[in-house]
Amino acid sequence: MTISGTAYGVVLNDRAEREALAAALVEKPYQSPPQAPVIYIKPGPCLSSGGAPVPVPVEAPELTVAATVALLFGTGGVAAAALALDVSLPGGDYYRPDIARRCRDGFLPLGAFGNPALPDEIVTFVDGAEVHRWRLERLVRDAGRLIADLSSFMTLRPGDLLLVGLPGDPPTARAGQSIRVQAAGLPDLSTMLVAEAA
């Protein structure tokens, strides 16, 4: 399986997060919840696989580690799926996020690809202890609807990667800690957070 295209992510696709933000979503600057999927791009250097460590910037005491599923597109649509960890620096402006907080080298570890069906639940462990669990029934748009809605205004090409959505309540972890993500039907994702050299 080759990721030869663009890696897209989707925010505000977690029903629990949207409910928690309901009041804020009707205020300025937008004054209503989004009607279409809200997407972002993870540049190529963000991607890592095979258990490669995640570099933790010197200025960051901890990172947000949001587990999700990445769908890889082939010539006939979705060809495979893998567990993914969308890493970012906590904080910043939600509406105008600092790109450097989300798009650093190694900030998108991927597990091995497997069956393209979505699991029911994703569980994250830090140093062997469960720290987060979320059910994908929380997705506002399931994979089929998300792809259909995106396809109404953009083209998903063979080699593109699509993260189906992030939990609104992701855990955090620090340099020196190990992360493992598990979901039934997909290979585990394991990585380590390692401090960058000053």
Whole-number pLDDT of residue 96 = 67
Mean pLDDT, residues 98-105: 85
- Amino acid identity, residue 26? V
The full DSSP string for 90-104 is S-S-SSS--HHHH--
1 found inside a domain: no
pLDDT band at 1 (very low <50, low <70, confident <90, very high): low
Residue 82 lies in a domain: yes
Task: Determine the Cα–Cα distance for residues 107 and 46; give it in Å rounded to an integer.
Answer: 5
Q: Which domain holds residue 50?
A: 7-195
Q: For residue 83, is pLDDT > 90? A: yes
How confident is the model over 37-47, as pLDDT tens digits?
A: 999 999 999 99
In a domain? residue 2: no
pLDDT band per the 50, 70, 90 thresholds, residue 137: very high
Residue 43 in any domain: the answer is: yes
**Reported confidence tier of residue 198, pLDDT bands at 50, 70, 90:** low
Tell me how many domains the chain contains: 1
Question: Considering Cα of 77, then 181, then 90, then 15, what sign does the dihedral take?
Answer: positive
Strands (E), 4-140: 7-11, 38-42, 47-48, 54-56, 63-74, 77-88, 108-109, 121-126, 129-135
- pTM for this one? 0.93
Position 138 in a domain: yes
Residue 154 maps to a domain: yes
Q: What is the CATH number of the domain that holds 94?
A: 3.90.850.10
Cα separations in angstroms, 91 against 73, 77, 172: 32, 35, 12
In a domain, 49, yes or no: yes
